[in-house]
Amino acid sequence: MGIAKKDVLDAVGPRLRELRRRRGMTLAELAERTEINESTLSRLEGGSRKPTLELLLPLAEVYAVPLDQLVGAPHTGDPRIHLRPVTRHGMTYVPLSEPGGVQAHKLLIPPRPGTEPELKTHEGFEWLYVLAGRLRLLLGDQSLVLKPGEAAEFDTHVPHWLGPDDDRVVELLVLFGRQGERAHLKAHTS
């Protein structure tokens, strides 16, 4: 194995540790989601376990990143981000940025007739912009309707729920910072 291949393999563990930490996950949480035991994950991150496809595929899925990003494959010079939609809880997330720091997503939320909104909280700060449809945003004890071209930002520690205000899919541009990063935009009113 040439020195370049060894360097690439040696860098996988620290890259995996950084991805896990950026997502605020413990080894126990990651082990539960990947079905890989904590000891193996720890040795993989520490570099004493060689990365294999069997180990890397579930990690790429949990982190929602391409496999080549986990191993540090060389960039091809193409600046485009290869969009890979992910569906969770009936919503489709289209990542528009690489993992780390503030994340950008296009979010498609279909109508869910007969389901009651369930407010949730989590770490972070969210900024959203309605591209199409009408968004119903429940934020604490407030109920807001946003139309295309309108934006909102909020601390995700406040109980919240997002969904269509009618029977059409709502499309959003979402910036999310797990560590509470805020989008610093200035709105001018006339």
β-pairing, 91-95 vs 103-109, is antiparallel
Query: For the stretch 2-22, what's the b/e string if a residue is b when 16 or more beta carbons lie within 10 angstroms of its beta carbon?
Result: eeeeeebeeebbeebbebbee
DSSP structure string for 53-83: HHHHHHHHHHHT--HHHHHTPPP-S------
pLDDT score of 4: 67
pLDDT score of 179: 59
Two tokens, residue 132: 């199409």
Contact 67, 15 (CB under 8 A): no
Residues with Cβ < 8 Å from 113, sequence gap 6 or more? 167
pLDDT score of 68: 78
pLDDT score of 106: 93
pLDDT score of 136: 96
What pLDDT tens digit does each residue of the chain (190 aa) get? 444 677 777 888 998 998 898 888 999 999 999 999 999 999 999 989 988 888 998 898 888 888 777 887 766 666 676 677 888 888 888 888 876 678 888 999 999 888 889 999 988 889 999 999 999 999 999 999 999 999 999 999 999 999 999 999 999 999 988 654 444 444 444 4
pLDDT score of 72: 76
Alpha carbon separation from 124 to 29, 64, 89, 145, 183 (Å, rounded): 18, 18, 19, 22, 12
pLDDT score of 84: 79
